[in-house]
């Protein structure tokens, strides 16, 4: 999801039933997002948060490589 300028995971209470599963699920999500980088795109539209019009691939690459902004 995106609020302000940064990409984030949804809160863990919505991501997993058991909090101990969150780290593995986040790794799997980032791996899946990494596969999207092979596709041509420039914008991102989220179910929650603000759309990112232009620069979407770069923002997603940063999220995949470094995780969400703290």
| Predicted pLDDT of residue 14 | 95
| Predicted pLDDT of residue 1 | 82
Q: What is the pLDDT of residues 4-26, one digit of tens each?
A: 788 999 999 999 999 999 999 99
Q: What is the pLDDT of residues 25-67, one digit of tens each?
A: 999 999 999 999 999 999 999 988 899 999 999 999 999 999 9
Domain ranges of the chain: 2-66
Cα 44 from chain centroid?
A: 10
How confident is residue 3, by pLDDT bands cut at 50, 70 and 90?
A: confident
- Radius of gyration (Cα) for the chain, nearest Å? 12
At residue 70, does pLDDT exceed 80? no
């Amino acid at each position: 999801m995106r609020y302000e300028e940064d990409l984030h995971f949804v809160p863990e209470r919505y991501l997993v039933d058991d909090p101990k599963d969150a780290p593995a699920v986040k790794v799997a999500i980032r791996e899946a997002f990494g596969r999207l980088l092979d596709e041509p795109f420039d914008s991102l539209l989220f179910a929650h948060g603000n759309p990112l019009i232009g620069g979407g691939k770069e923002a997603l690459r940063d999220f995949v490589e470094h995780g969400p902004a703290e």
